[in-house]
Amino acid sequence: MKFQSAFLSAALLCAATAVSAGPLDKSECIAGAKPGGGFDLTCKLAQSALLEGKYTTDPMRVTYMPGGIGAVAYNTVIAQRPADGNTITAFSSGSLLNLAQGKFGRYNESDVRWLSAVGADFGAVIVAADSPFKNLKDLMVALKKDSTKVVFGAGGTVGSQDWMKAALIAKAGGVDHKTMRFVAFEGGGEASTALQGGHVQVYSGDASEALTQMDAGAKIRVLAVLSDKRLTGKFANVPTAKEQGIDIEWPIIRGFYMGPKVSDADFKVWTDAFNKMLASKEFDKLRTERGLFPFALTGVELDVYIKRSVHNYRKLIDSFGLNVAK
């Protein structure tokens, strides 16, 4: 009898545990690239924040699904895991740019549930420390005088975020993007090395990337940040492009989405957790440690922002006459 009673109690305990398990338990974050990149950083930021904020006692699992700046992950979540309430997937502005160019196959920006934006980086106009360009005006003057002597370099090929930033800067200087001199590198590190070696004159990279490189001893200087207002910290004295008369902004947001058939109840649990988490000082510290700047949107507000961004990217793509994948 005692054995039966003990067995019944254990069974009830297991049942209660199963019922109480929610979407934050045994959760997973999919990073749509190999370890070490921006998607990995984004997933691990959520992993740390959820655990340190005690939203869960079970560390989030990070899995890697490389391919097409998030294209493989996007297609997998929609087609194979549309209702998985325990899984979030990292995205970036690069993902949105590829969506706008039709590089995610048959799916578009309306085919997932956009959960949260957790931080932002911003484009930056970077030159060598000994560059004759002291501000954006100097660069614009040089472009108009003889654009063949100004070579842009950055990570990514034609149509990428870094190429877009370079094309917008060149356009502001009166240079047709088709004649702009641009050298594509595998990543920001290679572009920075080329900049310091005098092989390129301008590096259209990101603020956090530049900060990391300068902290590591790179002899580079930031002429402008492509943000709506001045950044904080070490970039507090760096003017925006707008302040210098060039109306260019390039925010690079990072965040998460979920499958299209995730239940409203599970989606709300995640949204409520992120809203609380994003407002905390602990999360701000974790975000800053990863070189990201404050940017927080969830739910409907994020959905509106995403769709507006993709729409604007499509207009930008059209203005540059880039081919869109069909």
Whether residues 110 and 256 share a domain: the answer is: yes
Residue 261 lies in a domain: yes
Nearest to residue 186, comparing CAs of 37, 300, 35?
Answer: 37
Find the CATH number of the domain harbouring 37.
3.40.190.150
* Helix axes 161-172 and 136-146, enclosed angle (nearest 10): 80
Whether residues 139 and 230 share a domain: the answer is: yes
Coil, helix or strand at residue 202: strand
What is the domain range of residue 302? Answer: 26-120+252-319
Rounded Cα distance between 244 and 205, Å, is 18
Whether residues 241 and 258 share a domain: the answer is: no
Tell me how crowded residue 178 is: count the other CB atoms within 10 A of its CB.
9
- Which DSSP letter does residue 60 get? P
Whether residues 174 and 240 share a domain: the answer is: yes
pLDDT tens digits for 189-242? 788 889 999 999 999 988 887 887 888 898 999 999 999 999 988 889 999 999
Whether residues 116 and 256 share a domain: the answer is: yes
The token pair that represents 18 in the structure block: 């199963």
Coil, helix or strand at residue 114: strand
* Helix axes 93-100 and 71-80, enclosed angle (nearest 10): 80
pLDDT tens digits for 121-139? 899 999 999 999 999 999 9
pLDDT tens digits for 33-84? 888 778 888 999 999 999 999 998 889 999 999 888 789 999 999 999 999 9
Count of domains observed in the chain: 2
The token pair that represents 116 in the structure block: 């949260």
Rounded Cα distance between 133 and 136, Å, is 7
Rounded Cα distance between 296 and 311, Å, is 20
Whether residues 172 and 62 share a domain: the answer is: no
- Pairing outcome for strands 202-206 and 113-128: antiparallel
Whether residues 105 and 36 share a domain: the answer is: yes
Residue 64 lies in a domain: yes
Residue 17 lies in a domain: no
